[in-house]
Amino acid sequence: MSETILTEIDNGLGIITLNRPERHNAFDDALIRELSESLVKMDTDADVRVVVLSSTGKSFCAGADLNWMKKAAGYSAEETQRDAVELAGMLRLLNDMKKPTVARVQGPAYGGGVGLVAACDIAIAAFDAQFALTEVKLGIIPAVISPYVIGAIGERKARRYMLTAERFSAAEAYRIGLVHEIVPGEAELDEAVGEIVDALLANGPAALGECKALIKAVANRPITSDIIVDTAKRIARVRASAEGREGMAAFLEKRKPSWMSKTN
């Protein structure tokens, strides 16, 4: 793997870093492919319990790389669709990871960069981060990232920012739900991300994956008898699992559960 993507695993934490600062960490086909490979490796590595997505330089991710866009301008419809499917596949891998994901946003996130933020479970940004869905300025649309962005900010806010392509601040990103927390600078950003990671590592690893699956199963669905039965089966299965039994025993015995001893 090239230096386009940097990875690190430390004490239960997996860090994936976009490393094209000279190109503002913009997407091209190589970055998309390597990021996809890194996401799969992190999700299947038993030593990784939480994944942080970060980047180097002044920008989190500026969307599509200009040189890649110039190259793609000559693509056929089939070639364009192939590239879009590869980007969609990478975002789906990020969105569907069994492990919690945290976006560390230290600078501008435009276009596909907003998609990365929206596809993570938790997002924390510095005050000077900026965001924009600029596709319509180029006569195109934010199609591939739309499920994740609309899921994060809702249809009404998406109508404004997808249609106007205007930039908006970290404070506005926080207000509309794209990011969960905003902090003054990079030192505070690292501290805030560290606190979130510590909170996640204190929880049952399998339970975190089960909880992500639960949210996906019940979100935006009516409370039907099928949902009630499904949720009852989920809690019964998880409670009877080895991790569930250990967690309950640790609570009753007023001790740390076994999974905390592995990272503390």
Look at phi and psi of residue 6 and say left if phi exceeds 0, alpha if psi is from -120 to 50, else beta. Answer: beta
Asked whether 15 and 8 are in contact (CB, 8 A), the reply is: yes
Residue 252: how many other CB atoms lie within 10 Å? 8
- Distance, CA of 198 to CA of 218 (rounded, Å): 27
Confidence band of 264 (pLDDT split at 50, 70, 90): low
Beta strands in the chain (DSSP E): 5-10, 13-18, 50-55, 101-105, 109-110, 122-126, 130-132, 168-169, 181-183
**Amino acid in position 44:** T
Confidence band of 73 (pLDDT split at 50, 70, 90): low
Confidence band of 1 (pLDDT split at 50, 70, 90): very low
Confidence band of 80 (pLDDT split at 50, 70, 90): confident
Confidence band of 172 (pLDDT split at 50, 70, 90): very high
Confidence band of 260 (pLDDT split at 50, 70, 90): confident
Neighbour-count burial of 10, counting CB atoms closer than 10 A to its CB (0-12 exposed, 13-18 middle, 19+ buried) = exposed
Q: What angle do CA 87, 46, 88 make, to 5 degrees?
A: 10
pTM of the model: 0.92
Q: State pLDDT tens for residues 15-24.
A: 999 999 999 9
Q: What angle do CA 260, 247, 213 make, to 5 degrees?
A: 90
**What is the DSSP pairing of strand 50-55 with strand 13-18?**
parallel
pLDDT, mean of residues 156-180: 98
Residue with tokens 């030593």: 47
pLDDT, mean of residues 31-36: 94
pLDDT (0 to 100) of residue 2: 59
Structural tokens at position 202: 């204190």
CA-CA-CA-CA dihedral for 181, 182, 188, 192, to nearest 10? 10
- Distance, CA of 1 to CA of 146 (rounded, Å): 29
- Distance, CA of 149 to CA of 133 (rounded, Å): 10
